Structure 1
Amino acid sequence: MKKFALLSFLFIAIVIASSELRFCRADASPDAVLDTDGKKLRVSNKYYILPAFEGSGGGGLAIGNIRKEYDRCGINVVQERYEQSDGDPTTFLPINPKKGVVRVSTDLNIEFDATTRCRKSTVWKLGTFDRYLRQYFVTIGGTKGNPGRETTENWFKIEKYGKGNYKLVYCPRVCKYCKVMCKDIGIFENNGIRGLVLSDTPFPVIFKKVYE
């Protein structure tokens, strides 16, 4: 009888422990995004978004124009032509910025720390379909915060992509009942200018902290 009671107690203890472990795993935060120094990306810092691999066609990401190079009134997010160029500094604002750390699989706003002649917002957003070039381009002119139906185009995610590398994704979850496209962010080239677009082929990136 004592043996049966002991076995029953052990069984119940194992079930409870397993349930608690599953709960903890489900409630755990996603992994932090790491920069090229192996440090966590933080909301208060600025970073360059660089190609993960050399020889990928250019440098870091910056403001530009997919139809006209060297246009500071541009609306597109483009890759700098030369590998030596880091592009424009960037900041990240997660849907819950109070945590202070940027994590994978989390909705966030991306903003260039740069100015344009047109005084346009430098927050990233998904542009409308370009009928001429047949692409959905990533542009600037978005707004920060206010997650919901009216702002779905302003939210992106960072996901792991291979060892130590990442990819940018458009798949906002800020509106539970909204139908949105879910696609990787890749590169589309037009007359030698490489712009960010929705794509089946992701553009692998890394994040380099800006030291001021």
Structure 2
Amino acid sequence: MKLSYLKLGLLFSILLSFSCSTFSQSTAAARINFALDADGHQLQSGTKYYIYPSQGGNGGGLALSAKDFACPFYVMQENLEASNGVPLRLLPVDNRQQSISLSTDLNIAFNAATICVQSTAWKLGPIDENSGRRYVMSNGVIGRPGADTLSSWFKIERDGSGNGYKIVYCPGVCGSCKVGCGDIGVFIENGKKWLGLSDDPFVFVFKKA
């Protein structure tokens, strides 16, 4: 009888160890698959966040500013490191999703209003005639995934250096559409930092507003 109890105890210990190991692995996997803020918490849909450069000395947060003195406004980075910028919200294509997954189509929208009286959701603009670049601007569309809203969808990816995250334009909301994918980086023009498609991604971290 004692031997049977010992066998049962040993079996229970093995099962408990296996369960703990499985839970630990699943928790680690969840942390890898979800974007985290600077405090290590999973990003939440609709919650307001600031975006900061992952390395100090590279400017401040993100905001909107007029370019060529006309609407719509364009997404830019504040020059002053002490500036928080404007908080923004992340809205995944699946509006039932609470935590923000990596590599998932989502809308990005500033929690603000502008004199343009337009949506503050991001969208990737057309090729600029003067610079040949594609800038990130406001007046994007929230929701309604498909060919008509293709320019308004972005993804969050972990940067290859492991220092933070990057934003990628490579929407998957239209299976039949041809999309030119690329990272979102920063261009310095006339003393201002504008966001747009670039071979050099803007690497950042999230901080809850």
Structure 2-normalised TM-score? 0.81
Pair 1:61-2:62 in alignment: yes
SS state of the match for residue 33, structure 2? coil
Q: Distance in 2 between matches of 1:132 and 1:166?
A: 30
What is the distance in 1 between the residues matched to 2:147 and 2:105?
14
Q: Deviations over 1:70-92 (max 9, x none)?
A: x9x66100001211001100000
Q: Using the alignment, how far apart are the partners of 1:44 and 1:77 within structure 2?
A: 19
The question of whether the paired residues in 1 share the 8 Å contact of 2:119 and 2:141 is answered with yes
Preserved CA contact (<8 Å) 1:67 1:190: no
Q: CA deviation at 1:196?
A: 0.3
TM superposition shift of 1:66:
4.0
Query: Hey, what does 1:90 align to over in structure 2?
Result: 88
SS in 2 for 1:49: strand
By how many angstroms is 1:142 displaced?
0.7
SS across alignment from 1:195: strand
2:182 alignment partner AA? K
Between the aligned partners of 2:81 and 2:128, the Cα distance in structure 1 is 27
* Cα deviation, residue 67, structure 1: 4.3
Provide the secondary structure at the position in 1 that maps to 2:151: helix
In structure 2, the CA distance between the partners of 1:179 and 1:170, relative to structure 1 (3 Å rule), is: same
Instruction: Name the residue aligned to 1:34.
Output: 36
- 1:99 offset after TM fit, Å? 1.9
Please tell me the residue identity of whatever aligns with 2:119.
Answer: S
* Structure 1 match to 2:54: 52
- Partner residue of 1:208? 207
State the match for 1:186 in structure 2: 185
Please tell me whether the aligned partners of residues 157 and 167 of structure 2 are also in contact (alpha carbons under 8 angstroms).
yes
Match of 2:138 among 137, 140, 157: 140
Partner of 1:76: helix, strand, or coil? Answer: strand
Secondary structure of the corresponding residue to residue 206 of structure 1:
strand
Aligned AA (2:94): N
Deviations 1:5-55 (A, max 9, x none): xxxxxxxxxxxxxxxxxxxx9xx9871100001000001310001111111
Determine the structure 1 residue equivalent to 2:22: none
Q: Which runs of 5+ in 1 are unaligned?
A: 1-24
* Counterpart position of 1:128: 126
Matched residue of 2:89: which SS? strand
**C-alpha displacement of 1:150:** 0.6
- 2: CA distance, partners of 1:118 / 1:64: 11
Cα distance in 2 between the residues matched to 1:113 and 1:59: 17
Question: Unpaired segments of 5 or more residues in structure 2?
Answer: 1-25
| Separation (CA, whole Å) in 1 of partners of 2:141 and 2:147 | 13
Contact 1:46 1:91 in 2 (8 A): yes
- The TM-score normalised by the length of structure 1 is 0.80
Give 1:114 shift.
Answer: 0.6
**Runs of at least 4 residues off by over 2 Å:** 65-68
Which residue matches 1:18?
none
Q: Which residue of 2 aligns with 1:172?
A: 171
